[in-house]
Amino acid sequence: MSRLENQIAIVTGAGSGFGAEIARAYVKERARVVLADIHGDAVRRLADELGPGASGIACDVTRADQVKAAVQHCVETFGVPDIVVNNAGTTHRNGSMLDVPEDVFDRVFAVNVKSIYHMARAVVPLMKARKQGVILNVGSVGSHRPRPGLTWYNGSKGAVGVMSKSMAVELAPDGIRVNLISPVMAATALLGEFMGVPDTPENRARFVSTIPLGRMCEPIDVANVAVFLASAEARFLTGIDMPVDGGRAI
């Protein structure tokens, strides 16, 4: 039997990067997956590629009504979700914390933090009714070892870390496990913003030099952890923060 056989999942930010790879890995492990992303065309194309075990829906995770609609779409298409991966995220450009406009700050916290609040309100009652569920939040190694230039982004991911642990304790009596995945920088669409400099081989090499295993994170690295933490193999794990960082946080 595949590791996620008969499981139903929602993955946010599934249009590209970590989210798309998590969706691919989940379908490979025989889960049925709703792919949610603000870019509806991207997730619908990916869902078509993945076959009948996947369904894409446009969803702005900063809006409660759209998150509720995504959860309802999951219920109507596949059933009540067993797994939710809160992967959608954004950042501000690497630079002085004083140069980040207020609207950008608000957007970072709305996407990275408030989205989890919206999803919890939409999905936790369904999981409580069944006395089971898995919630995986995607944080960042930047909340472990913050560096100048991404202060407000790191702060948002620090909030996600504390929220995840508090959720784990509060929801454990209902059989709901909550864990955090904290990747290091990856070559995703946000790489240029994270670096704050042109994406050149030289600039990449400078960042890679801070990672003991000598490379950036790849989406499959995160997807592999997301499969494990959602599987029965991790049934006694809750409240953990799993760095996927090649040793960066050491």
The per-residue pLDDT string of the chain (250 residues; one tens digit each, 9 = 90 and over) reads: 699 999 999 999 999 999 999 999 999 999 999 999 999 999 999 999 999 999 999 999 999 999 999 999 999 999 999 999 999 999 999 999 999 999 999 999 999 999 999 999 999 999 999 999 999 999 999 999 888 899 999 999 999 999 999 999 999 999 999 999 999 988 877 777 877 777 788 888 988 999 999 999 999 999 999 999 999 999 999 999 999 999 999 8
Single out the catalytic residue among 26, 78, 153, 194: 153
3-state secondary structure of 125: helix
Alpha carbon of 222 to those of 7, 19, 80, 136, 219: distances in Å? 19, 9, 24, 11, 5
Q: What's the rounded Cα separation, in Å, for the pair 129 and 193?
A: 41
Residue 198's pLDDT is: 79
C-alpha radius of gyration, the chain, whole number: 17
Q: What's the rounded Cα separation, in Å, for the pair 134 and 81?
A: 9
**Angle formed at CA 131 by CA 229 and CA 78, multiple of 5 degrees:** 70
Amino acid letter, residue 10: I
Going by the DSSP 8-state scheme, the letter that residue 237 receives in this structure is -
**What phi, psi does 216 have (nearest 5°)?**
-75, 165
**What phi, psi does 63 have (nearest 5°)?**
-110, 120
- Contact between residue 108 and residue 62 where contact means Cβ atoms under 8 Å apart: no
Token pair of 71 as six digits: 């959860």
For residue 117, indicate whether it is catalytic: no
Residue 200's pLDDT is: 82
Q: What's the rounded Cα separation, in Å, for the pair 99 and 8?
A: 42
Residue 30's pLDDT is: 98
Domains, the chain:
8-240 (3.40.50.720)
**Angle formed at CA 233 by CA 49 and CA 231, multiple of 5 degrees:** 30
Place of tokens 């990067």: 17
Number of neighbouring beta carbons within 10 Å of residue 65: 11
Q: What's the rounded Cα separation, in Å, for the pair 223 and 198?
A: 27
Q: What's the rounded Cα separation, in Å, for the pair 239 and 233?
A: 15
- Contact between residue 60 and residue 108 where contact means Cβ atoms under 8 Å apart: no
Helices and strands in the chain, H and E counts? 9, 7
